[in-house]
């Protein structure tokens, strides 16, 4: 049985625009063309946080978003990512993850020098500006 679902196709979605969407966990999401995902506010176990779900057209099993309505473009100075950066909790230096050491990778390493350190303690810098923007927008709708 084929069930027709009306939604905005992936190729018609505009980068950095807020959409009303149908998905597993989100009602609204900002489309990020690079990731083919929509960043929105998810509530789980009483906690609200930014979360990304991906456009249906990318396919199973990750494609869960059906964009229904284009709303507004987010301001140019906003990042369309849920996390702005990952830093080491102790040194506050930006870090990045390669692949696990046991697979021949570096694991976590410092972005500025490329050196790895088994004592790196990663923490995410959340995108509070986008969170507040989405919260205010959702409250208006």
Q: Which of 65, 79, 64, 68 is nearest to 32 (CA)?
A: 79
Overall pTM surpassing 0.85 (yes/no): no
- Angle value at C-alpha 51, between 43 and 5, nearest 5 degrees: 90
Using the structure block, give the residue that is written with the tokens 């996390």: 83
Residue pLDDT tens, the chain, 141 long: 455 579 999 999 999 999 999 998 999 999 999 999 999 999 888 899 999 999 999 988 889 999 999 999 999 999 999 989 999 999 999 999 988 878 888 889 999 999 988 899 999 999 999 999 999 987 776
CB-count burial class (<10 Å; 0-12, 13-18, 19+) for 60: exposed
Sequence spans of domains, the chain: 10-74+129-140, 83-123
């Amino acid at each position: 049985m084929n069930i027709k679902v009306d939604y905005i196709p992936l190729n018609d979605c505009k980068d950095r625009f807020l959409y009303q969407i149908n998905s597993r966990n989100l009602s609204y999401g900002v489309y990020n063309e690079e990731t083919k995902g929509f960043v929105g506010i998810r509530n789980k176990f009483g906690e609200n946080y930014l979360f990304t779900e991906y456009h249906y057209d990318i396919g199973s099993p990750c494609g869960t978003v059906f964009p229904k309505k284009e709303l507004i473009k987010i301001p140019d100075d906003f990042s369309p990512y849920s996390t702005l950066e990952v830093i080491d909790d102790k040194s506050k230096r930006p870090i990045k993850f390669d692949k696990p050491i046991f697979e021949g990778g570096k694991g976590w390493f410092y972005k500025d020098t490329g050196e790895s350190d088994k004592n790196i303690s990663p923490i995410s810098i959340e995108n509070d500006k986008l969170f507040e923007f989405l919260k205010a927008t959702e409250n208006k709708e």
